[in-house]
Amino acid sequence: MAKAYDQTFKNKIIKERLSGLSVKSISIKHGVSVSVTGKAVSCSLKNKVELMTYLSDGHIPIDNNLDERGIKPFVINRKNFLFSNTEKGAEASSMYMSIIQTAKTNGLDTNKYLAYLFENLYKIQIFESDYQDPVKLDDKFKIMAHLLPWDDNIKTQFKMKETSR
């Protein structure tokens, strides 16, 4: 509770301090735009709307590190995708990467989950003709629901153990 109060208090102070300032007033009155502090204040004022949005909602992260970590494997494998011999090979690679990232996002042990997935996926027979019939295809997808990474049984079976940071 004290932490939430402390954060609310800090947000209030920052909002009060920024409310009367503008980029021009800082650089004209104080001539601090050349100092490190002046540059930081000027940057905050230029992004005042975004900063206020961040301060008003505690769920918004201050940085985009989570997003960048999410796309990092695709950036690393970009060169590998260039060497897919066929369009179907490139599609298979992107599906494989998507499955891995979704498993990671759901906190699963990806190696164990993929082994389980490949052991059970072939049992569900999907034929080319099934793609023509939406009812058949929908039935096949319903059969596969227990294999999805957000399924409760999958989460309990393949959940990664928490490690200290």
Q: What is the pLDDT of residue 22?
A: 60
The pLDDT score that the predictor gives to residue 9 is 67
Q: Do residues 140 and 126 lie in contact, with contact meaning Cβ atoms separated by under 8 Å? A: yes
Domain boundaries, the chain: 2-56, 65-105, 107-160
Q: pLDDT per residue over 126-159, tens digit each?
A: 777 777 888 887 887 888 888 989 899 999 999 8
Q: Percent of the chain having pLDDT more than 90?
A: 10
Q: What is the pTM of this model?
A: 0.53
Decide if 114 contacts 100 (C-beta within 8 A): yes
For residues 27 and 41, give the distance between their C-alpha atoms in angstroms, rounded to a whole number. Answer: 10
